[in-house]
Amino acid sequence: MSIRSVARAVIKKTAYGLFRATGGVPSYALTVDGLFATSRKMAPPDYFNLMRGHYEGAERTILRGAFRNASTIVEIGSNIGVVASLALDSKLERNGRMICVEPNPDSHEALYANLSRAQKRRASDDIQLRVLHAAVSGPQGERGGSAEFIQRADLSSGLSGQVSGRASDSSLVNVEVTSLSSILNAHNVDGPYSLICDAEGAEIPLIFEDAAALKNCSQMLIELHSPSLTGREDVPPDIMVRELESLGFRLRVREHDTYYLDKLAFN
């Protein structure tokens, strides 16, 4: 092991100790993409990856490259708003609108702060921004409006019954459950829109139960999770991609477990 590697390991171990002693990671992170608000409950490795530009690296790479400018962007699973902020900064057209959906209350303060900062950077444009405190399932899974949501200490959370078993550092809260179709209808999204989705397994009911919501989706940046993250029948990513292709999408880019698909009809 090199001296640099040893020094990096010592610094990281020391920082982790400080984070634990002070109750969590710092409230802000200075990154290659600027300053971001963070949650104190963010996992230290995620915090360091954010600073180094590796956090949500696949999504950010595709967003900068293949993802086209859009007048309407819907993001499911916004977390603290890193990808949403970058999309708002560089991919949302003037007078465009963005709808962000995030169920985890632990993420909301940082999410609002990051989106607000991005919106101010585009103060000369009439950007419409909405943040919904909800989890997304298929239309059949709205379950009367609410469901139990697992809050894990590292912000990696999801609906109970759609994620792996509760960890010892997790708690349960009730959250609103909705579908992509309901979101589009409620906000009068009746034309082409772009979708960003990192929903910890909720992409499965979205793809297989809510195909109507994808009719006007012109492009999609989506993370497809391994079956171990869901309580549903195992659905490998290649099967999900095949289903999306049957709905008119074509796979253009893959970065690890993140995929970019678009439709010829909207090009």
Rounded Cα gap, residues 103 and 229, in angstroms:
17
Please provide the average confidence, as pLDDT, over all residues in the chain: 86
Strand-pairing partners, residue 181, are none
pLDDT of residue 88: 96
Rounded Cα gap, residues 127 and 116, in angstroms:
11
Q: Comparing C-alpha atoms, which of 29, 58, 60, 57 is closest to residue 43? A: 29
Check pLDDT > 90 for residue 86: yes
Gyration radius (Cα) of the chain, Å: 18
Render pLDDT for 189-246 as a digit per residue (tens, 0 to 9): 999 999 999 988 888 889 999 999 999 999 999 999 765 444 556 788 999 999 999 9
Neighbours of 36 (CB within 10 A): 23
CA angle 195, 165, 19 (to 5 degrees): 80
Instruction: Output the furthest CA–CA distance in the chain (Å, rounded).
Output: 58
Q: In 91-195, where does DSSP find H-type helix?
A: 105-121, 180-186
Strand-pairing partners, residue 131, are 100
Phi, psi of 33 (to 5 degrees): -100, 10
Comparing 66-70, 89-93, 111-115, 222-226, the range with the smallest average pLDDT is 222-226
* Whether pTM exceeds 0.95: no
pLDDT of residue 162: 62
Q: Comparing C-alpha atoms, which of 226, 224, 215, 228 is closest to residue 255? A: 224
pLDDT of residue 22: 62
> Which positions ≥6 away from 62 have C-beta within 8 Å?
221, 253, 255, 258, 260
Domains observed in the chain: 57-266 (3.40.50.150)
Q: Comparing C-alpha atoms, which of 102, 41, 48 is closest to residue 75? A: 102
